[in-house]
Amino acid sequence: MVGPLDRVKILFQTSNPQFAKYTGHWLGVVTALRDINRAEGIRGLFRGHSATLLRIFPYAGIKFLAYEQFRNALIPDRSKETPGRRFASGASAGITSVFFTYPLEVIRVRLAFETKKHSRSSLTRICRQIYHEQAPDPRSLAHTNGQPTGPVAAVANVVQKVTPKIGISNFYRGFSSTMLGMIPYAGMSFLTHDTIGDIMRMPMFAPYTVMARSRDTEIKTENGTTTKRAQLTAPAQLTAGAIAGLVSQTASYPLEVIRRRMQIGGAVGDGHRFSIAETARRIFMERGLKGFFVGLTIGYLKQIPMTATSFYVYERGKWLFGI
């Protein structure tokens, strides 16, 4: 169910002309799913899901691995553990994971954005399409009888000669807004999860939230000693992860909407690359402040259980392997 909801969220965030009318309505998601199924069939509901599956494994692995490394560097012992250091560790981990997996994110969004009834969605086709997209020719800005004139034409000729036609940069549309959005998203995610975990391990809650056979243990390392935290029960661990998903999604959602609009820039309009400020201005002019939160409910339906599950597997994995 996550795949279809994710596609609808992307269509809402990018203001796809065929689905923008459904945003803001209680039954908008259901209606959008129905229309996609009628026009494209079941496969249409999962368009872009293949890129999601390719991305999620390296993204999650790199994020949690990087978090452990940054946490060990910024918080060598419990005496130096502060909310600021936790936030910085999580934000750094999120930025690291996005840096290595971002092209697959762009491919996923572009696949999900397409709504042509008879177009066959494929990774290779969309990759070629993204690679060969070019910004509008500057020489078209000033024409006389179809020919460029004046200083604009002179500058355009120079740019045309010295600028290499490399399409790799097209796979990084919206990268700047993604990096900015990852700071509050990953930072608040890890900070909230660890803080809720501390609260649940307090003596007044521990009998109900901590596993009976688990307890805090001291582990000797090269830098001294660290504490291996007591394991939370499954319901408590899932609750901590769910709250982390709720908080992080809310904190970073406006920047997520901005980056989605930037990522589909080559598929709409004349291919002009808008900056973060320009994109935010266009969203505000179209829908006002609520435009930055289009599809947030769908985001909750996906992000809360996904974050809860990922943190559960992460914590249980560390405990089982003695990390």
Model confidence pLDDT, tens digit, residues 37-93: 788 778 777 777 777 778 888 899 999 999 999 998 998 877 788 999 999 999 999
Q: How far is CA 242 from CA 9, 197, 211, 311, in A?
A: 19, 12, 19, 9
pLDDT, residue 117, reads 55
The model's pTM? 0.75
Share of the chain above pLDDT 70, in %: 78
pLDDT tier at 224, thresholds 50, 70, 90: low
Tell which wins on pLDDT, 203 or 216: 203
The predicted structure's pLDDT at residue 156: 36
The domain limits of the chain are: 2-135+165-320
Which pLDDT belongs to residue 172? 82
Give the CB-side neighbour count of residue 310, counting CA atoms within 13 A: 22
**Inter-residue contact 184 to 248 (CB < 8 Å):** yes
pLDDT at residue 190 greater than cutoff 90? yes
**CATH class of domain segment(s) 2-135+165-320:** mainly alpha
Q: What is the mean pLDDT of the chain?
A: 79
Q: What is the mean pLDDT of residues 216-222?
A: 53
Tokens of 155: 């500058």
